[in-house]
């Protein structure tokens, strides 16, 4: 294993370096880290700093510190918490290939509920936002920005801030991946039709129809993503 460059913020540097090493397969699940002295030397940090970094990673579910034994790398898919999810977004170049489809499946489960709630509590705001969709530039960048703004508004308008907190955790990552998703005109056409029909449902105050429309488009978006990436 290579020796990392000396850090400016030792604990954060150690945490980030070790997370990257787990994600890129240097230390796969069920493997163990080298001894504390060796690992600290490779990272260019002190052993107390390494111990603090390891404790932080253990609390997030990345690993298990075993007294008298080597530190064990956990299966983060099973043992990780919300901070692991945030790290997967931050280090998206090393994310597992099934992460995006799984994330879209979660959106399929959540989006219909918060869209329905938004129409119940703030239909006029939903209509107001959607009213400009027809003027969008026909580009992936324009659609990704608009789509992010729509879902952010829907989560806020749902009056359940947990939806917003979850969505905010993917802010930059969402737009980055959405720009890739919206490259084919088929994806932009699908969303354009969704915006039109969702606006009509919001005008009518029809929360059940808004929920149905969202579920349908979320499901189709998963199919389109898999088609693009050949998953």
Does the domain at residues 10-80 carry the CATH identifier 3.90.1200.10?
A: no
Stated as kind and residue range, the H or E segment containing 73 is strand 72-73
**Number of separate helices (H) and strands (E) present in the chain:** 11, 2
CA atoms within 13 A on the CB side of 224: 19
Ordered by start, the domain boundaries in the chain are 10-80, 99-229
Mind listing the pLDDT tens digit for each residue in 105-130? Answer: 989 999 999 999 999 999 999 999 99
CATH class, 99-229 region: mainly alpha
Mind listing the pLDDT tens digit for each residue in 49-71? Answer: 999 999 999 999 999 998 888 99
Instruction: Tokens for 140, please give them.
Output: 């992936």
pLDDT, mean of residues 183-187: 95
Q: Is the pLDDT of residue 156 over 70?
A: yes
Q: Is the pLDDT of residue 95 over 90?
A: no
Three-state secondary-structure class, residue 181: helix
pLDDT above 70 as % of the chain:
94
Locate the DSSP E strands across the chain.
Answer: 63-64, 72-73
């Amino acid at each position: 294993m290579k020796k990392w460059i000396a850090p400016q913020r030792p604990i954060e540097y150690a945490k980030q370096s070790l997370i990257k090493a787990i994600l890129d397969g240097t230390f796969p699940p069920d493997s163990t880290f080298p001894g504390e002295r060796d690992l600290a030397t490779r990272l260019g940090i002190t052993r107390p700093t390494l111990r603090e970094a390891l404790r932080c990673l253990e609390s997030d579910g990345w690993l298990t510190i075993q007294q008298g034994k080597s530190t064990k790398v956990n299966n983060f898919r099973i043992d990780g918490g919300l901070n692991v999810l945030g790290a997967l977004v931050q280090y998206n170049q090393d994310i597992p290939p099934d992460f995006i489809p799984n994330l879209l499946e979660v959106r399929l489960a959540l989006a219909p509920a918060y869209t329905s709630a938004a129409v119940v509590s703030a239909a006029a705001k939903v209509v107001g936002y959607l009213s400009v969709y027809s003027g969008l530039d026909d580009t992936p960048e324009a659609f990704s920005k608009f789509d992010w703004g729509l879902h952010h508004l829907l989560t806020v308008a749902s009056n359940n801030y947990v939806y917003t907190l979850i969505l905010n955790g993917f802010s930059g990552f969402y737009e980055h991946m959405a720009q890739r998703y919206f490259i084919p005109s088929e994806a932009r056409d699908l969303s354009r039709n969704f915006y039109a029909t969702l606006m009509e449902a919001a005008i009518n105050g029809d929360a059940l129809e808004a929920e149905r429309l969202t579920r349908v488009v979320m499901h189709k978006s998963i199919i389109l993503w898999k088609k693009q990436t050949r998953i």
